[in-house]
Amino acid sequence: MEIVKHELNGFILNFLHAAPGRTASSPTLLLLHGTGGDENSLLDLGRMLAPGLAILSPRGKVLENGMPRFFRRLAEGVFDLPDLKLRTHELADLIAAASVAYKFDPAQVIAVGYSNGANIAASMLLDHPGVLSASLLFHPMVPFVPQTLPDLSKTPVFISAGRHDPIVLASETERLVALLQQSGAEVAAHWYSGGHEVSHAEVRDAKAWLQTLLTPFQATS
Ligand code: MLT
Protein backbone atom coordinates (compact mmCIF):
# COMPACT_ATOMS: atom_id res chain seq x y z
CA MET A 1 0.00 0.00 0.00
CA GLU A 2 1.35 3.40 -0.97
CA ILE A 3 2.05 5.68 2.03
CA VAL A 4 1.42 9.39 1.58
CA LYS A 5 3.22 11.58 4.16
CA HIS A 6 1.37 14.86 4.31
CA GLU A 7 0.35 17.91 6.24
CA LEU A 8 -3.36 18.63 6.28
CA ASN A 9 -5.26 21.11 8.51
CA GLY A 10 -2.03 21.57 10.49
CA PHE A 11 -1.73 17.80 11.22
CA ILE A 12 1.30 15.80 10.10
CA LEU A 13 -0.08 12.46 8.95
CA ASN A 14 0.35 9.26 7.04
CA PHE A 15 -2.31 8.12 4.63
CA LEU A 16 -2.27 4.62 3.18
CA HIS A 17 -4.57 4.01 0.26
CA ALA A 18 -6.78 0.93 0.33
CA ALA A 19 -5.60 -2.17 -1.47
CA PRO A 20 -6.96 -2.68 -5.01
CA GLY A 21 -10.29 -4.51 -5.00
CA ARG A 22 -11.72 -2.59 -2.04
CA THR A 23 -14.95 -0.77 -2.79
CA ALA A 24 -15.20 3.03 -2.55
CA SER A 25 -17.34 2.70 0.59
CA SER A 26 -14.89 0.33 2.28
CA PRO A 27 -14.03 1.66 5.79
CA THR A 28 -10.92 3.67 6.62
CA LEU A 29 -9.05 3.12 9.87
CA LEU A 30 -8.23 6.26 11.88
CA LEU A 31 -5.16 5.45 13.98
CA LEU A 32 -4.71 7.51 17.16
CA HIS A 33 -1.45 6.98 19.02
CA GLY A 34 -0.71 7.25 22.75
CA THR A 35 1.36 9.94 24.50
CA GLY A 36 4.83 10.12 22.96
CA GLY A 37 3.78 8.30 19.80
CA ASP A 38 3.41 9.71 16.32
CA GLU A 39 1.87 9.06 12.91
CA ASN A 40 4.01 5.93 12.49
CA SER A 41 3.42 4.25 15.87
CA LEU A 42 0.24 2.31 15.09
CA LEU A 43 0.74 1.56 11.39
CA ASP A 44 1.73 -2.06 12.02
CA LEU A 45 -1.24 -2.50 14.37
CA GLY A 46 -3.59 -1.06 11.75
CA ARG A 47 -2.21 -3.29 9.01
CA MET A 48 -2.47 -6.31 11.32
CA LEU A 49 -6.06 -5.57 12.36
CA ALA A 50 -7.41 -5.10 8.87
CA PRO A 51 -5.01 -5.76 6.00
CA GLY A 52 -5.89 -3.78 2.89
CA LEU A 53 -8.02 -1.07 4.49
CA ALA A 54 -7.13 2.59 3.93
CA ILE A 55 -5.40 4.16 6.94
CA LEU A 56 -5.44 7.76 8.16
CA SER A 57 -2.82 8.20 10.88
CA PRO A 58 -2.30 11.74 12.22
CA ARG A 59 0.23 12.92 14.80
CA GLY A 60 -1.30 14.67 17.83
CA LYS A 61 -0.64 18.42 17.73
CA VAL A 62 -0.05 18.97 21.43
CA LEU A 63 3.44 18.57 22.87
CA GLU A 64 4.00 17.59 26.51
CA ASN A 65 7.71 17.78 27.29
CA GLY A 66 8.35 17.08 23.60
CA MET A 67 5.90 14.14 23.49
CA PRO A 68 3.03 14.40 21.01
CA ARG A 69 -0.51 14.02 22.36
CA PHE A 70 -3.98 14.69 21.02
CA PHE A 71 -5.00 17.15 23.77
CA ARG A 72 -3.55 18.84 26.84
CA ARG A 73 -3.76 17.47 30.35
CA LEU A 74 -3.24 19.23 33.65
CA ALA A 75 -1.93 16.10 35.40
CA GLU A 76 -2.03 12.34 34.83
CA GLY A 77 -5.68 11.54 34.13
CA VAL A 78 -6.78 15.19 34.66
CA PHE A 79 -7.74 16.61 31.31
CA ASP A 80 -7.85 20.21 30.07
CA LEU A 81 -11.49 20.01 29.03
CA PRO A 82 -11.70 23.17 26.86
CA ASP A 83 -8.59 21.97 24.98
CA LEU A 84 -10.07 18.46 24.66
CA LYS A 85 -13.24 19.93 23.13
CA LEU A 86 -11.27 22.07 20.68
CA ARG A 87 -8.92 19.24 19.65
CA THR A 88 -11.80 16.80 19.22
CA HIS A 89 -13.46 19.32 16.91
CA GLU A 90 -10.19 19.78 14.99
CA LEU A 91 -9.89 16.02 14.55
CA ALA A 92 -13.46 15.80 13.22
CA ASP A 93 -12.57 18.56 10.73
CA LEU A 94 -9.42 16.66 9.73
CA ILE A 95 -11.46 13.53 8.94
CA ALA A 96 -13.78 15.58 6.72
CA ALA A 97 -10.86 17.29 4.93
CA ALA A 98 -8.95 14.03 4.50
CA SER A 99 -11.99 12.26 3.05
CA VAL A 100 -12.02 14.87 0.28
CA ALA A 101 -8.22 14.95 -0.21
CA TYR A 102 -7.80 11.14 -0.25
CA LYS A 103 -11.25 10.20 -1.55
CA PHE A 104 -12.59 7.93 1.16
CA ASP A 105 -16.11 7.60 2.56
CA PRO A 106 -16.41 9.90 5.64
CA ALA A 107 -19.38 7.81 6.81
CA GLN A 108 -17.15 4.74 7.22
CA VAL A 109 -14.33 5.75 9.54
CA ILE A 110 -13.33 3.32 12.30
CA ALA A 111 -11.08 4.70 15.06
CA VAL A 112 -8.30 2.58 16.53
CA GLY A 113 -6.97 4.46 19.55
CA TYR A 114 -4.47 3.59 22.23
CA SER A 115 -4.36 5.39 25.60
CA ASN A 116 -4.37 9.14 24.86
CA GLY A 117 -5.55 8.30 21.32
CA ALA A 118 -8.35 6.12 22.73
CA ASN A 119 -9.35 9.02 24.97
CA ILE A 120 -9.79 11.46 22.10
CA ALA A 121 -11.68 8.76 20.16
CA ALA A 122 -14.01 8.38 23.17
CA SER A 123 -14.38 12.17 23.26
CA MET A 124 -15.32 12.07 19.55
CA LEU A 125 -17.99 9.45 20.26
CA LEU A 126 -19.48 11.55 23.06
CA ASP A 127 -19.17 15.02 21.47
CA HIS A 128 -19.43 14.30 17.73
CA PRO A 129 -21.54 11.13 17.43
CA GLY A 130 -21.83 10.10 13.79
CA VAL A 131 -18.23 10.99 12.85
CA LEU A 132 -16.95 7.50 13.71
CA SER A 133 -18.81 4.46 12.40
CA ALA A 134 -17.15 2.21 15.01
CA SER A 135 -14.26 2.42 17.48
CA LEU A 136 -11.61 0.19 18.96
CA LEU A 137 -10.38 1.71 22.20
CA PHE A 138 -7.28 0.16 23.77
CA HIS A 139 -6.97 1.20 27.44
CA PRO A 140 -9.28 4.25 27.36
CA MET A 141 -10.55 6.48 30.18
CA VAL A 142 -13.73 8.54 30.54
CA PRO A 143 -12.69 11.73 28.68
CA PHE A 144 -15.59 13.75 30.13
CA VAL A 145 -19.22 13.17 31.05
CA PRO A 146 -21.57 14.92 28.60
CA GLN A 147 -24.64 16.78 29.89
CA THR A 148 -26.78 15.08 27.26
CA LEU A 149 -26.01 11.55 26.17
CA PRO A 150 -25.32 11.12 22.44
CA ASP A 151 -27.10 8.50 20.33
CA LEU A 152 -24.50 5.80 19.69
CA SER A 153 -26.98 3.08 18.79
CA LYS A 154 -25.30 2.63 15.39
CA THR A 155 -21.73 2.82 16.69
CA PRO A 156 -20.25 -0.43 18.00
CA VAL A 157 -17.29 -0.10 20.35
CA PHE A 158 -14.53 -2.57 21.28
CA ILE A 159 -12.77 -1.77 24.56
CA SER A 160 -9.73 -3.54 25.99
CA ALA A 161 -8.45 -3.04 29.51
CA GLY A 162 -5.75 -4.45 31.78
CA ARG A 163 -6.83 -5.59 35.24
CA HIS A 164 -3.46 -4.32 36.56
CA ASP A 165 -3.27 -1.11 34.51
CA PRO A 166 -1.66 1.51 36.80
CA ILE A 167 -2.87 4.38 34.57
CA VAL A 168 -6.47 3.31 33.91
CA LEU A 169 -8.18 1.79 36.95
CA ALA A 170 -10.71 -0.97 36.33
CA SER A 171 -13.43 1.26 37.82
CA GLU A 172 -12.60 3.92 35.19
CA THR A 173 -13.04 1.40 32.36
CA GLU A 174 -16.31 0.22 33.88
CA ARG A 175 -17.54 3.83 34.05
CA LEU A 176 -16.75 4.32 30.35
CA VAL A 177 -18.44 1.05 29.36
CA ALA A 178 -21.57 2.12 31.28
CA LEU A 179 -21.54 5.62 29.74
CA LEU A 180 -21.29 4.25 26.20
CA GLN A 181 -23.95 1.61 26.86
CA GLN A 182 -26.29 4.26 28.32
CA SER A 183 -25.74 6.12 25.03
CA GLY A 184 -27.02 3.08 23.14
CA ALA A 185 -23.67 1.72 21.93
CA GLU A 186 -23.08 -1.99 21.66
CA VAL A 187 -19.90 -2.35 23.70
CA ALA A 188 -17.61 -5.39 23.62
CA ALA A 189 -15.46 -5.02 26.75
CA HIS A 190 -12.43 -7.31 26.92
CA TRP A 191 -10.35 -7.69 30.07
CA TYR A 192 -6.74 -8.92 30.28
CA SER A 193 -4.43 -9.74 33.15
CA GLY A 194 -1.73 -7.21 32.19
CA GLY A 195 -1.15 -3.46 32.55
CA HIS A 196 -1.32 -0.48 30.17
CA GLU A 197 0.49 -2.18 27.26
CA VAL A 198 -1.33 -3.79 24.32
CA SER A 199 -0.90 -7.59 24.35
CA HIS A 200 -1.03 -10.12 21.52
CA ALA A 201 -4.29 -11.45 22.95
CA GLU A 202 -5.87 -8.00 22.68
CA VAL A 203 -4.82 -7.62 19.07
CA ARG A 204 -6.19 -11.09 18.27
CA ASP A 205 -9.56 -10.30 19.92
CA ALA A 206 -9.75 -6.84 18.33
CA LYS A 207 -9.05 -8.33 14.91
CA ALA A 208 -11.80 -10.93 15.32
CA TRP A 209 -14.26 -8.25 16.47
CA LEU A 210 -13.36 -5.98 13.55
CA GLN A 211 -13.60 -8.84 11.09
CA THR A 212 -17.30 -9.31 11.82
CA LEU A 213 -17.90 -5.58 11.16
CA LEU A 214 -15.96 -5.75 7.90
CA THR A 215 -17.73 -8.79 6.47
CA PRO A 216 -20.14 -6.67 4.37
CA PHE A 217 -17.14 -4.82 2.86
CA GLN A 218 -15.06 -7.85 1.81
CA ALA A 219 -12.65 -7.20 -1.07
CA THR A 220 -14.22 -7.91 -4.42
CA SER A 221 -11.16 -9.68 -5.84
C1 MLT B 1 -4.19 10.65 28.83
O2 MLT B 1 -3.57 11.60 29.27
O3 MLT B 1 -4.86 10.68 27.80
C4 MLT B 1 -4.11 9.40 29.63
O5 MLT B 1 -3.55 9.64 30.86
C6 MLT B 1 -3.37 8.34 28.89
C7 MLT B 1 -1.96 8.75 28.67
O8 MLT B 1 -1.15 8.62 29.58
O9 MLT B 1 -1.67 9.21 27.58
Q: Per-residue pLDDT for 1 more than 80? A: no
Is this structure's pTM higher than 0.75?
Answer: yes
| Structure letter (DSSP) for residue 128 | S
Give 195 Cα–ligand 1 centroid separation in angstroms: 14
Atom number, ligand 1, closest to the C-alpha of residue 79: 2
- CA angle 154-156-159, nearest 5°? 155
Assigned domain for 221 exists: no
Please state, in angstroms and rounded to a whole number, the distance separating the CA atoms of residues 132 and 125. 7
215 Cβ contact list (under 8 Å, min separation 6): none
pLDDT tens readout for residues 37-50:
999 999 999 999 99
- Which residue's CA is minimally distant from atom 7 of ligand 1? 116
CATH number for position 113: 3.40.50.1820
pLDDT at 152: 98
| Pocket mutation for ligand 1, best pick of 38, 78, 119, 172 (most atoms within 8 Å of C-beta) | 119
Please state, in angstroms and rounded to a whole number, the distance separating the CA atoms of residues 60 and 13. 9
Percent of the chain with pLDDT over 70: 98
Range of the structural domain that residue 16 is part of: 3-215
- CA angle 191-195-198, nearest 5°? 75
- Which residue's CA is minimally distant from atom 4 of ligand 1? 116
- Which residue's CA is minimally distant from atom 5 of ligand 1? 77
Atom number, ligand 1, closest to the C-alpha of residue 116: 3
Assigned domain for 220 exists: no
Domain count, the chain: 1
Please state, in angstroms and rounded to a whole number, the distance separating the CA atoms of residues 140 and 189. 11
> How would residue 221 be classed by pLDDT, with cut points 50, 70 and 90?
very low
Assigned domain for 174 exists: yes
Ligand 1 neighbourhood includes 57 CB (under 6 angstroms)? no
Atom number, ligand 1, closest to the C-alpha of residue 115: 6
The amino acid occupying position 217 is F
Assigned domain for 64 exists: yes
pLDDT tens readout for residues 163-211:
999 999 999 999 999 999 999 999 999 999 999 999 999 999 999 999 9
Catalogue the active-site residues.
Answer: 115, 165, 196
Complete DSSP assignment for 45-99: HHHHHSTT-EEEEEPPSEEETTEEESS-EEETTEE-HHHHHHHHHHHHHHHHHHH
pLDDT at 220: 52
What average pLDDT is seen over the chain? 95
Q: State the alpha helices, DSSP H only, in the chain.
A: 43-49, 81-101, 116-127, 170-182, 200-214
